Amino acid sequence: MFYREAGQFKTTYAADMAVFPVLQDRIGIGVILVVAFVALPLFGNDFLINAVMIPFLVFSLAAIGLNILTGYTGLLSLGTGAFMGIGAYACYKLTTIFPNVNILVWVIASGCFSAAVGALFGLPSLRIKGFYLAVATLAAQFFLQWCFIRVPWLYNYNSSGAIEVPQRTLFGLPVTGATATATTRYLVVLTIVVVMTWIASNLVRGRIGRTWMAVRDMDIAAELIGIRLLQTKLSAFAVSSFYCGVAGALMVFLWYGGAESEVFDINQSFFVLFMVIIGGLGSLIGSFMGAALIFILPIILRAAPEALGLPLRAATVEHLTFITVGALIIGFLVLEPMGLARLWQVGKQKLRVWPFPY
Amino acid sequence: MDILYKVFIDPFMQMGAAPDLLVQTMWEGLVAGVLYALIALGFVLIFKASGVFNFAQGIMVVFAALTLVGLYERGIPAFVALGITIVAMYGLAFGVERLVLRPLVNQPDIILFMATFGLTYFLIGLGELVFGGEPKVMIAEQLYLPKGAIDLKILGGLVSLQKIDIAAAVIASIMVVGLGLFFQKTRIGRALRAVADSHQAALSVGISLEQIWVVVWFAAGIVALATGIMWGARSDVSFALQILALKALPVLILGGFTSIPGAIVGGVVIGVGEKLGEFYWGPLLGNGIESWLAYVIALIFLLFRPQGLFGERIIERI
Amino acid sequence: MRAPADSDSAVTEALLSVENVSLAFGGVKALSDVSFDVRKGEIRAIIGPNGAGKTSMLNVINGFYHPQEGRITFKGETRARMRPYVAARGGIARTFQNVALFRGMTTLDNIMAGRTLKMHRGIFWQILRAGPALAEEVTHRHKVEEIIDFLEIPQIRKIPVGRLPYGLQKRVELGRALAMEPDLLLLDEPMAGMNIEEKEDMSRYILDVNNHFGTTIALIEHDMGVVMDLSDRVVVLEYGRKIADGTPDEVKGDQKVIDAYLGVPH
C-alpha cells in the first residue's frame, strides 16, 4: 500500500521519460543522497568511510564503466584493470608536471586519456566479435600492464616502481596525500560519482544508449536502421574507458594514496566483471549492488567467524572470498542471469501490490 | 634508419651469427608451444562437444597437478596418487556437468563462458585453501619421467635438449593421435561429433547429452592432468600457471576453436614466435614482452582472418 | 483486387530498379540474372516457391549481401553494391522473416531506435539531457506515439519485446520500419504465422501506409489471396530466376507460374 503509482499521471512525455518517474522512487533517492552527503560524514567513523564507502564508490564507478561496454553494448572486455590504470598513471603524470592545476581537472583529463586509449583498443571490434574480442581486450590488459612496469617515465623513474600521490588541495582543504582527512576525500569521491552516475543515466536513456543496446541485441538489424556500427562501438569503448579511467585515478589519489602496477592486473579486471555480472548486466543500479556485494563480502567473511570466536587468517579469508565469489557467479547465472538488479525489480513489483500477493 | 636496421636487419644477423642459439631458442619455443597446445586441446575438446568455451581449463591444469603432488606429500605412493587424481578429475567433470552445465543448458554461449569464469575462481580459492599457495615440486622422478639433457654439438656450438621436454612432445603427440582416433573411429567419438554439430539432432537420435558432457569434461581433465605433470616437471607447480594458461587463447585463435590439429599448429606457432620475439627483439623494447606478444600476434591475425587459421567462416543468415 | 488509383494509368518512374543481379554462395546460386523494377508509390509483390531467392533479393537491395554481378539503381543512383548504412540513409526500411527486433528493449525503445537517423543532438547535449537533447527526444516521441496509435499497440509500449507474442512482434517491427519514414519499405513475409484477423489488420496497415504516406512497398508473401488483393504488380522467382512479371491477373494465369507452384518438373 505504500508503493502505489495510482494518482501519479504523467502529462508530458518528458515526465514519462524521467529517471525516476514514480514519486516514491524520488523520495527514496532523496533520502539516500541525504544520508550519503550529510549523515555519513557526521556520524560515520573513519574506518567505515575510508575502508568501505570510498572503495565502494570507486568500484561502483568502474562497474558502471564496464557495464556500459559489456552490459549495454554487449562487448565483453577483460581489460578493465588496465583502463583504470591508465587513468591513474595519467593523472599522476599530469599533476606532477603541472602541480598548480586543480586536481579535479586532471582527474577528468585522465579519464579522457583513458577514453582515447580505450577507443584505440576498441578499433578491432569492427571485425572481431564475442570471445575473440575478449582476447583483444586481453592484449590491451597485458600490454598496458607491461607498460606500467617498463616505462619508467610513467612513475617518474621512482626506483621502487611505485607511484606516491603528492598532496593537492581543493578550496584550501587537502584532498590527496597524507594530510587529507577521510571525510574530505569521501565527499569529493561521492560528488564525482553522483555526477557521473547522473550523466551515465542520461546517456543510456537517450539516443546513444539506444544505439548501444541495439548493437548488443542484433547488430545486423541495427546497421539496417542506419546505426553506424564502428562509431557506436567506439563510443561505447570510449565512454566506458572514461569511467574506468576516472575510477582508477580516484582509487589511487583519493583512496590508496599510491599504487604499484599489480593493482591494475587481470584479477582486477575479473573482479569488476564479477560485480557487473552479479549486479546485473545493463543496469546502472546493478553496478552499485554488485560492487557492494563483492566488496562487502570479504569484510563479512572476516568479521563473521571472528564474531563467532573462530578468527581466520587473512589468506584464508581471501581463499574463501574466491570460493564464494565463484559460487555466487555460477549461482546467479543459473538462478537470475539478470543479477541483483532484476531481483530488486521483482522486489519492487511485489512491493507495488503489497499486501496482496499479486 | 638506425631503427629500421635494428628491427629488420640486426635480429636476423644475430640469428645467422649463432645458429646453435637460434635452434636452442626455437626448441624452447617448441616446447612451450607444445604445452600451450595441450591446454588448447582441452579447450577444443570441450568446445567441440558442448559449445562451451571453458575458461577454467587453465585452473584445471593447476588443480590436477596440485592434487597429485598434494596426495603424494601426504604419503600416498606416486602411481596410486595418480589414480586417485584421475578419479578426482572424473568427479570434477561430473560435478561441473550436474551443477553448471545442466542448469544452463539453454542459455546463450556468453552466459556459459561467464559461468566458467566463476568456476575458475572457485577452483583457485578451493585449491589454495586445500593445498596452500606456495609453489610445489612435481613428482617427476616418482613417475619415471626422464631427467637430464641430451647435448648436441651441432652448428658450431651447443644445443641442449632437456629429456623431459622430449618426453612432453612425445606424450603430446600420442595424446593428439589418440584423441583423433577416438573421435573418428569409436562410437562415443561419433556421438561427440554429433553433439558438436547439433544438440537437438543428437538428442533426437537418443544420444544422452549429459553422459557426453561428462565424458568430454573428463577427457579434458585427463589432458589437463598430463599438461600439469609435464609443465610442473619443467618448473614448479603454482597458481602462476593459471595466468600462463590464458596463453592458450591466442593459440585457439590461430588454430580455430574446433580443430585438434589446429591447436597443435597454433600452439607451436605461438610458442616459437613468442620465444624468438622475446630473445631477438625483446632487448629493443625492454624485456618481458612475452607477457603480451602472443596476444598481439593473435590480435593482428584476427584482423585479417576473424575465424582463425582452421576455423570455419561464419555466414550470418537473416 | 484493389480499386484503380491515379498512379495506375500514368507511367510513373521507377524508384528502384534491379538489373541482371546474380548472387552465389560458394556453389549455391541464389539469384541468376534477375531484373525488375519497382515504381514509385506502388505495392510490388515478390513471390515464388521456397528457396526461390526472394529473401536473398531483399538482402541484396538492402546491401546486406553483395551480388557478384548486376546493378541496383535507387532514386536515380546506380551502384554495383549497396551498403546497409547507405540504404538506410537513402530511405529503405525493412522487416525480416524471423523478426529482428532488439529483444532487450521495450516496444517504445525499439520504435524510437528507428528514429536514430533523424536525431542529431551530439554527445555534449546527450550528457546533460536537459534542453536540446530532451526537446529532440520529445519531438520524436510524438512521432513514435503516432505510429503506435496507427498500429493500435499502445498497451504494449513499455513491455520488453521478447515477451510479446509473435503477431505483435511483427507489428512492432513494422512500426520500427515506419519510424524511419522510408521511401521504400521492404517487407519479408509480414503475414507469416498470423490468423485471418491478424492478416486483415496487417493488410489494412500496409494499404494505409501506401495510401497515406505514399510509401512504395515491396513485399514477399506466400498467401496468394493477400498478394492478389494488395499488390499492383507481381514478380515471380523460381530457383533464383525470374519467371513472370506483371499484374496479379496476368501472373495468376501464367502457366510457368502454375507449374512452379505445383512442382511440375521442367
DSSP conformation letters of A60-77: HHHHHHHIIIIIIS----
Give residue B25's pLDDT: 86
Whether pLDDT at B292 is above 90: no
Whether pLDDT at C217 is above 90: yes
Whether pLDDT at A331 is above 80: yes
CATH number of B2-304: 1.10.3470
Residue in B309, B192, B182, B195 with CA at minimum distance from that of residue B252: B309
User: Is the model more confident about A352 or about C61?
Assistant: C61
CATH topology for A20-265 is ABC transporter involved in vitamin B12 uptake, BtuC (1.10.3470)
Q: Which of A314-318, B140-144, B309-313 has the lowest mean pLDDT?
A: B309-313
Q: Are A218 and C102 in contact (CB under 8 A)?
A: yes
Query: Strand (E) positions, C26-90?
Result: 28-39, 43-47, 69-74, 77-79
Residue A9 backbone zone (phi > 0: left; psi -120 to 50: alpha; other: beta)? beta
- In order of B34, B130, C74, C204, the CA distances from B140 in angstroms are 18, 22, 72, 79
A181 Cβ under 8 Å from any chain B Cβ: no
Q: Which three cell numbers stand for residue B157?
A: 656450438
Would strands C69-74 and C14-25 be described as parallel, antiparallel, or unpaired? antiparallel
Q: Which three cell numbers stand for residue C95?
A: 522487416
- In order of B84, B97, B107, B195, the CA distances from B206 in angstroms are 32, 19, 22, 11
Give residue C5's pLDDT: 53
CA-nearest residue of chain A to B291?
A142
Q: What is the mean pLDDT of residues B165-175?
A: 83
Q: What is the mean pLDDT of residues B238-259?
A: 79
User: Is the model more confident about B21 or about C233?
Assistant: C233
**Confidence band (pLDDT; 50, 70, 90) for A295?**
confident
**Confidence band (pLDDT; 50, 70, 90) for A284?**
very high
Q: How far is C133 from chain A (nearest CA, A)?
A: 8
**Confidence band (pLDDT; 50, 70, 90) for C34?**
very high
Contact A213 C116 (CB under 8 A): no
Picking from B100, B129, B298, the nearest residue to A330 by CB comes out as B100
Count chain B–chain C contacts defined by CB atoms under 8 A: 7
Which residues contact residue A201 at a Cβ distance below 8 angstroms, ignoring those fewer than 6 apart?
A19, A284
Q: Which of A189-203, A325-339, B67-81, B281-295 has the lowest mean pLDDT?
A: B281-295
Q: Which residues in chain A are closer than 8 Å to B301, comparing Cβ atoms?
A: none
Q: What does the pLDDT look like over C86-95, one tens digit per residue?
A: 889 989 999 9
**Confidence band (pLDDT; 50, 70, 90) for C10?**
very low
Contact B115 A333 (CB under 8 A): yes
Output helix, strand, coil percentages for chain C, rounded to the nearest 5: 40, 25, 35
Give residue A179's pLDDT: 77
**Confidence band (pLDDT; 50, 70, 90) for B311?**
low
- In order of B56, B112, C21, C239, the CA distances from B115 in angstroms are 9, 5, 47, 45
Q: Which residues in chain C are closer than 8 Å to B313, comparing Cβ atoms?
A: none
Neighbours of chain B (3+ CB pairs under 8 A): A, C
Q: Which three cell numbers stand for residue B8?
A: 629488420
Contact C98 B315 (CB under 8 A): no
Count chain A–chain B contacts defined by CB atoms under 8 A: 128
Whether pLDDT at B281 is above 50: yes
Q: What is the mean pLDDT of residues B6-26?
A: 79
Whether pLDDT at A354 is above 90: no
Contact B315 C100 (CB under 8 A): no
Whether pLDDT at A174 is above 80: no
Q: Of all residues in chain B, what percent carry a pLDDT higher than 90? A: 0
Q: Are B171 and B31 in contact (CB under 8 A)?
A: no
Picking from A138, A319, A327, the nearest residue to B246 by CB comes out as A138
Which of A39-43, A247-251, B161-165, C97-101: highest mean pLDDT? A247-251
Domain ranges of chain A: 20-265
Domain ranges of chain C: 1-91+183-266, 103-181
Q: What is the mean pLDDT of residues B39-63?
A: 85
Q: Which residues in chain B are closer than 8 Å to A149, comparing Cβ atoms?
A: 288
**Confidence band (pLDDT; 50, 70, 90) for B318?**
very low
Give residue A261's pLDDT: 81
Q: What is the mean pLDDT of residues C15-26?
A: 89
Q: Which of A16-25, A210-219, C209-218 has the lowest mean pLDDT?
A: A16-25
Whether pLDDT at B232 is above 60: yes
Distance CA A106, CA A91 (A): 6
Half-sphere exposure of A179 (CA within 13 A, CB side): 8
Residue in B115, C106, B102, B318 with CA at minimum distance from that of residue A331: B115
Q: How far is C101 from chain B (nearest CA, A)?
A: 12
Q: What is the mean pLDDT of residues A105-110?
A: 92
Strand partners, C23: C31
| Chain C residues 30-59 within an 8 A CB cutoff of chain B | 59
Whether pLDDT at A73 is above 90: yes
Q: What is the mean pLDDT of residues A263-286?
A: 91
pTM above 0.80, yes or no: yes
C118 Cβ under 8 Å from any chain A Cβ: no
B315 Cβ under 8 Å from any chain C Cβ: yes
Give residue B56's pLDDT: 87
Contact B315 C25 (CB under 8 A): yes
Q: What is the DSSP letter of C217?
A: E
Picking from C85, C104, C177, the nearest residue to A228 by CB comes out as C85
Give residue A291's pLDDT: 93
CA terminus-to-terminus distance, chain C:
31
Please give the mean pLDDT across all residues of chain B: 81
Whether pLDDT at B141 is above 80: no
Q: Are A241 and A115 in contact (CB under 8 A)?
A: yes
Give residue B314's pLDDT: 52
CA angle B108, B311, B194 (to 5 degrees): 60
Which of A74-88, B88-102, B276-290: highest mean pLDDT? A74-88
**Confidence band (pLDDT; 50, 70, 90) for C121?**
confident
B318 Cβ under 8 Å from any chain C Cβ: yes
Give residue C1's pLDDT: 46
Contact A225 C176 (CB under 8 A): yes
Give the sign of the dihedral formed by CA A304, CA A305, CA A311, CA A314. negative
Give residue A314's pLDDT: 76
DSSP calls for B160-191: EEEHHHHHHHHHHHHHHHHHHHHHHHSHHHHH
Q: Which of A189-198, C26-35, C107-116, C140-149 has the lowest mean pLDDT?
A: C26-35
Interface confidence, given as ipTM, is 0.85
Q: What is the mean pLDDT of residues B58-85?
A: 86
Q: How far is B106 from chain C (nearest CA, A)?
A: 16
Whether pLDDT at A142 is above 70: yes
Distance CA C111, CA C102 (A): 10
Neighbours of chain C (3+ CB pairs under 8 A): A, B
**Confidence band (pLDDT; 50, 70, 90) for B162?**
confident
Contact B125 A274 (CB under 8 A): no
**Confidence band (pLDDT; 50, 70, 90) for C9?**
very low
Domain C1-91+183-266 in CATH: superfamily?
A: P-loop containing nucleotide triphosphate hydrolases (3.40.50.300)
C109 Cβ under 8 Å from any chain A Cβ: yes
Q: How far is A22 from chain C (nearest CA, A)?
A: 15
Whether pLDDT at C264 is above 70: no
Whether pLDDT at C176 is above 90: yes
Give residue C11's pLDDT: 54
Distance CA C185, CA C167 (A): 19
Give residue A1's pLDDT: 64
Give residue A69's pLDDT: 94
CA-nearest residue of chain B to C95?
B318
